[in-house]
Amino acid sequence: MEITCNIALVDDHTLFRNGLKGLLESCCGCRVVAEASDGDEFLELLPGLDTDIVLLDIDMPRMNGFEAATRALAQRPDLKIITLSMHGDEDYYFKMVSIGVKGFLLKSSDIDEVSTAIQTVAKGGSYFSQELLRTLVGSLKSAPSAELGHETLSQRELEILLLICKGMSNQEIADALFISKRTVDKHRANILDKTNCKNTANLVVYAIKNSLVEI
Q: How far apart are CA 11 and CA 98, in angstroms?
A: 22
Beta bridge partners of 83: 56, 104
Kind of pairing between the strands at 127-128 and 103-106: parallel
Class of domain 145-209: mainly alpha
Does 134 have pLDDT greater than 50? yes
CB-CB contact of 48 with 2 (8 Å): no
Fold of 6-139: Rossmann fold (3.40.50)
pTM: 0.76
Beta bridge partners of 2: none
Intra-chain end-to-end CA distance of the chain, in Å: 27
Q: At a CB cut-off of 8 Å and minimum separation 6, what does 117 contact? A: 82, 103, 105, 109, 127, 129
162-204 pLDDT tens trace = 888 877 888 999 999 999 999 999 999 999 998 888 888 788 8
CB-CB contact of 70 with 95 (8 Å): no
CB-CB contact of 195 with 150 (8 Å): yes
Q: Where in the chain is the domain with CATH 1.10.10.10?
A: 145-209
Split at pLDDT 50, 70, 90, the class of 144 is very low
CB-CB contact of 62 with 35 (8 Å): no
Across the chain, mean pLDDT equals: 85
The 3-class SS string of the chain reads: CCCCCEEEEECCCHHHHHHHHHHHHHHCCCEEEEEECCHHHHHHHHHHCCCCEEEEECCCCCCCHHHHHHHHHHHCCCCCEEEEECCCCHHHHHHHHHHCCCEEEECCCCHHHHHHHHHHHHCCCCEECHHHHHHHHHHHCCCCCCCCCCCCCCHHHHHHHHHHHCCCCHHHHHHHHCCCHHHHHHHHHHHHHHHCCCCHHHHHHHHHHCCCCCC
17-52 pLDDT tens trace = 999 999 999 988 899 999 999 999 999 999 999 999
The per-residue pLDDT for 142 is: 46
Q: Where in the chain is the domain with CATH 3.40.50.2300?
A: 6-139
